[in-house]
Amino acid sequence: MLKLDCTDENIVIASDGVKKGKMVVYPTDTVYGIGCDPYNDSAVDMIFKIKGRMEGKPLPLLCSSIKHAGRIAKLNKEATKLAERFWPGALTLIAELIDNRISSKVTAGTNTIGVRVPNNQCALQLIDRCGGVLVGTSANRSGYSPAKSTAEVLESLDGFDILLDGGKTTLGIESTVLDVRTENIALIREGYITRESIERVLGHV
């Protein structure tokens, strides 16, 4: 395992690793994530093995911009409004998948995908160098607390290839998750962004 500081040079090394099927742990604004090429079936398989997570549970994707998220997932008017308000930030939107080249292991065989643009420069640079989209599930064993530092990552996880150290994450709490496949938006998980903040943007308050 290669542990590297989040410098421009090391982000290039990490992105080259992703393109070769490697597993990279990296900081986001919420918690540390573990990622790989979402188009690579065998790489996605390895994510499940490392986390000790059962296949059949979908994995979220992190994107470097709304534009990249919009080519992966169908963002309707309400979803776009939320993305423009909260991205980059701690909001995951579950939408209809429109890029059918994404590994079916990422989506657990469904036609939906969770997308987010994180508010962390190291993550955004890495994702951008990986083509604008990267698997972004939390870097911890399934059932364990999400990691907020590299020390916590190393306590919980092994088997990955590269660890980008960006210091302690700024929020330390997971993203809020919304299902935006229809106009009747459903709150799946309330994380850093509150229900009230979301309702205010949608005009429900």
pLDDT of residue 172: 85
How far, in Å, CA of 154 to CA of 9, rounded?
23
CB 89 within 8 A of CB 67: no
Kindly provide the b/e burial profile for residues 39-69, where b requires at least 16 CB atoms within 10 angstroms of the residue's own CB.
Answer: ebeebbebbbebbeeeeeebbbbbbbbbebb
pLDDT of residue 204: 67
pLDDT of residue 53: 73
Kindly report the average pLDDT of the chain as a whole number. 94
How far, in Å, CA of 24 to CA of 147, rounded?
14
Domains of the chain: 2-202 (3.90.870.10)
Reported as a single tens digit per residue, the pLDDT across 116-170 is 999 999 999 999 999 999 999 999 998 889 999 999 999 989 999 999 999 999 9
Q: Look at residue 89 and tell me whether its pLDDT is greater than 50.
A: yes
pTM of the prediction? 0.94
State mean pLDDT over 185-190: 94
pLDDT of residue 56: 75
